[in-house]
Amino acid sequence: MNNNFLPPIIDSHCHMDFPDFDDDLDQVLERARSAGVSKLLTICTKPDNLKKVLTIVTSHSDIYFAAGSHPLNKNKKDMFSKDQLLKLTLNPKMIGIGETGLDYFYSSDNASEQKRHFRLHIAIARECSLPLIVHSRSADLDMANILKEEYKNGHFDCVLHCFSSGPDLAKIALELGFYLSISGIAVFPKSIELREIFSKTPLNRLLIETDSPYLAPPPFRGKRNEPSYVAFTAKVMAEHYGVSESLFRQTTSTNFEELFKKIRT
């Protein structure tokens, strides 16, 4: 794909610290830059990964990070404390809180604990005025209720990353002024209902991501995902919206910088 004459694009969610990239991170990043990816937001999901994440973002001016406790983390050592996260917000390259949220796909046995941690992250995001990065899977009703309840307690900004939930949650998120993020799932051939949800989402409420190393879009499905592939997802979704690829890339990048305002300071 020739991206020489297209505007830059931002991969709003990836995991560059995962071992999948240990052997060729520099090459992966070079391919991303060649595809026009101007910035990446890599996500730290547990304290043990923090040192590696900090090394990556310190070494690369175009990589930023967020940190939070993933809802599938169950061990105490895998959970960030409030003090840890607040201290991290002093780092100029930490621009978001999360990913955090609810995931009942495998089991909802620890739903109450997931909810507690999720509400804690919302409070932290509100306190430090950084956007919340939300993971939601098979938990639409609880997610919608918590978002509505917590927003009544005070404003916070939010993106539902890798959005693959139903239309009701999408509607509530948009009514609250939040963003939805498009991943490779949206361009899978069978994701007709998901594309329909996105078609009702205003362009100024969209981000785009890879969630690397997961969810590679066609024609790479089944292989390791990487940030350069965000360009393939953007091309397909631009066609779905009936807008130019240039406009789609430019708009999602502008949206990212509007949500993650700290990146501009």
Q: Which domain holds residue 107?
A: 9-264
Indicate the DSSP class of residue 42: E
pTM of the model: 0.96
For 67-112, the pLDDT digits (tens) are 999 999 988 899 999 999 999 999 999 999 999 999 999 989 899 9
For 159-184, the pLDDT digits (tens) are 999 999 999 999 999 999 999 999 99
Q: Is residue 150 part of a domain?
A: yes
Q: Is residue 178 part of a domain?
A: yes
Tell me the one-letter amino acid at 208.
I
Alpha-carbon torsion, ordered 118, 123, 125, 128, to 10 deg: -150
Q: Is residue 2 part of a domain?
A: no
Give the pLDDT of residue 4. 64
User: In which band, very low, low, confident or very high, does the pLDDT at 5 lie, cut at 50, 70 and 90?
Assistant: confident
Q: CA end-to-end span of the chain, whole Å?
A: 33
Q: Is residue 3 part of a domain?
A: no
How many domains are contained in the chain? 1
Q: Is residue 196 part of a domain?
A: yes
Q: Is residue 74 part of a domain?
A: yes
| Three-state DSSP state, 66 | strand
Q: What is the CATH number of the domain that holds 184?
A: 3.20.20.140
Alpha-carbon torsion, ordered 60, 100, 144, 148, to 10 deg: -80
Distance, CA of 78 to CA of 218 (rounded, Å): 33
Give the pLDDT of residue 265. 74
Q: Is residue 114 part of a domain?
A: yes
Distance, CA of 134 to CA of 97 (rounded, Å): 9
Phi/psi zone of residue 211: left (φ > 0), alpha (ψ -120 to 50 degrees), beta? left
Give the pLDDT of residue 165. 97
Q: Is residue 4 part of a domain?
A: no
